[in-house]
Amino acid sequence: MANGKTVLVTGGAGYVGSHTVVELLEQNYNVISIDNLVNAYADSPTEKPESLKRIEKLTGKSITSYNIDIRCKDNLDKVFKTHKIDYVIHFAALKSVGESCAKPLQYYQNNISGSCVLFEVMSENNVKKLVFSSSATVYGTPQKLPLDENHPTGQGCTNPYGKTKFFVEEIMKDLCSSDSEWSAISLRYFNPVGAHESGLIGEDPSGIPNNLMPFIAQVAVGRRAKLSVYGSDYDTIDGTGVRDYIHVNDLAIGHVRALDKFCDNNFKGFKPYNLGTGKGLSVLQMVEAFKKASGKDIPYEIVDRRPGDIASCYADASLALKELNWSATKDVNAMCKDTWNWQSKNPNGYQTKTAN
C-alpha cells in the first residue's frame, strides 16, 4: 500500500509505541518519534533509543527521533514546524498504578498537562487528527461483561493513573466539540502482552514488574524466584483473576486501522474503541500457557488479593471489527512464545545488547 503520510508518535520508544512504529513503517508511513526516555533505554541522552535502532535494523527504514519531553512546548513546536505532520499517535505517559497512588501530581502533570501541551501545539500547527492510548481501566469495576464502549467511564477509577486516561478522554471530547476539524480516536487497550516475533523488541519494565506477563517471563528466565498469584478466591474459573490479554502486534495493527479511519471524510469528532480479544484467561491459565511455550517451570505461590484488583475484565471488541475492520488474530500461545523469545534473547531487556 502506497502511503507517504507522516505520523508523529509520542512515546515511540516504549513498549506499545515501538511495536506500532514497526507496523507504521511496514505500511510505508514516515515516522517521527518523540520520547523523553523516562521509561526507554538509550546509550546516552543524546542517542537514538535502543528500541528504535533495532527497528531500523529490522525494517531497513529510518526513523526521525527526538529525545524531548511533550511538556516542553517550544521543543514540541519546533518539531511541528520542521516536519509536515499528518497524524499524531499519543502513547507518551507514565503507567504504573502503584506509583501513581504515591505520586499523583507527577501523573497528572505528565499525563494530563503533557497531553494538553501536545493538543495545543497540534491545534496551533493545524494538525487535528489524533489517536490516543487509553485503557480498559476507564471502565472501573465492570457493571457487566463483556465490556462494550457504552459502559460508563470514570466511575470507580480508583487510582490516579486510571483517572488520567479518563480525564484525557474527556479533554479530547471537549476539544472535538469545540472545533469540528478535530477528530480523535481513543483506543482502550485491554492487557497488552507479547513481543515482535523477531525477538528484537519487547517489553522492558524498569525495576520489579507490576504486570503479570513480564513477571512470569522474568521468573522463567531466572531473574525472579517465583510468581505471587494475587488471590485464588475470586468468582472465576479457578479463583484467580481473569483478563483479556492481547498480543502487542495485534494492538499495533489496531493503531494503523485507526489512522485509516481518518481517510473517511464522514468520520468526525471523538470515538472510543476497545482493543481486546474478547476472551478472558485466568492467572493460572497464563502460567500454564507460558510453561508450555518456554519449557520452563514457573514456581508460584498464592498470596492475598492485590488491593484495587477486580475479578474479571474482558472486551466486547465488535465495534472495532465493524468500524475499523480490526480484530485480534494471535492467540495465547503466540503471546507466550513471542514473550519468551524476547525475554530469553534479552534477559536484561535492552541493556543486554545481545539480541541478533
d(CA 262, CA 260): 5
Decide: is 16 part of the binding site for ligand NAD (CB under 6 A).
Answer: yes
Q: Which does 326 bind (CB under 5 to 8 A by kind): ligand NAD, ligand UD1, none?
A: none
d(CA 25, CA 56): 9
Judged by beta carbon, residue 77 or residue 309, the one nearer ligand UD1 is 309
- Site map 24..53 versus ligand NAD, x via CB under 6 A: ----------xxxxxxx-------------
Report CA-CA distances (Å) from 148 to 54, 138, 206, 322, 353.
Answer: 36, 12, 32, 13, 41
- Site map 177..216 versus ligand UD1, x via CB under 6 A: --------------x------------------xxx--x-
Report the amino acid identity of residue 220: A
Cα Rg, the chain, nearest whole Å? 19
Report the amino acid identity of residue 170: E
Report CA-CA distances (Å) from 63 to 29, 59, 244.
Answer: 10, 10, 32
d(CA 356, CA 343): 13
Judged by beta carbon, residue 229 or residue 335, the one nearer ligand UD1 is 229
Q: Of 26, 120, 148, 309, which lies in the binding site for ligand UD1, with binding defined by CB under 6 A?
A: 309
CB of 356 to ligand UD1, least distance (A): 29
d(CA 1, CA 296): 41
Nearest of 330, 315, 35, 292 to residue 194 by alpha carbon: 330
Place of cell 477486580: 310
d(CA 112, CA 118): 10
CB of 294 to ligand NAD, least distance (A): 21
Decide: is 17 part of the binding site for ligand NAD (CB under 6 A).
Answer: yes
Is the peptide bond between 307 and the residue preceding it cis, with omega within 30 degrees of 0? no
Judged by beta carbon, residue 184 or residue 229, the one nearer ligand UD1 is 229
Q: Of 62, 180, 206, 228, which lies in the binding site for ligand UD1, with binding defined by CB under 6 A?
A: 228
d(CA 80, CA 76): 7
The gap from C-alpha 27 to its chain's centroid, in whole angstroms, comes to 19
Q: Of 7, 8, 9, 15, which lies in the binding site for ligand NAD, with binding defined by CB under 6 A?
A: 15
Which strand (E) or helix (H) includes residue 104? helix 104-107
Q: Of 8, 9, 70, 201, which lies in the binding site for ligand NAD, with binding defined by CB under 6 A?
A: 70
Question: Residue 350 catalytic?
Answer: no
Q: Which does 306 bind (CB under 5 to 8 A by kind): ligand NAD, ligand UD1, none?
A: ligand UD1
The region of 90-98, 238-246, 286-294, 316-324 touching ligand NAD under the rule CB under 6 A is 90-98
Report the amino acid identity of residue 313: C
Is 12:52 a contact under the CB 8 Å cutoff? yes
Decide: is 133 part of the binding site for ligand NAD (CB under 6 A).
Answer: yes
The region of 62-70, 118-126, 222-230, 325-333 touching ligand UD1 under the rule CB under 6 A is 222-230
Copy the grid coordinates of residue 323: 468500524
CA 116, 118, 122, 127 dihedral sign is: negative
Decide: is 241 part of the binding site for ligand UD1 (CB under 6 A).
Answer: yes
The region of 10-18, 25-33, 57-65, 309-317 touching ligand NAD under the rule CB under 6 A is 10-18
Residues involved in catalysis: 161
Q: What residues line the site for ligand UD1 (CB under 6 A)?
A: 97, 135, 137, 161-162, 191, 210-212, 215, 227-230, 241, 243, 283, 306, 308-309
Q: What residues line the site for ligand NAD (CB under 6 A)?
A: 10-11, 13-17, 34-40, 69-71, 91-95, 110, 114, 133, 135, 189, 192
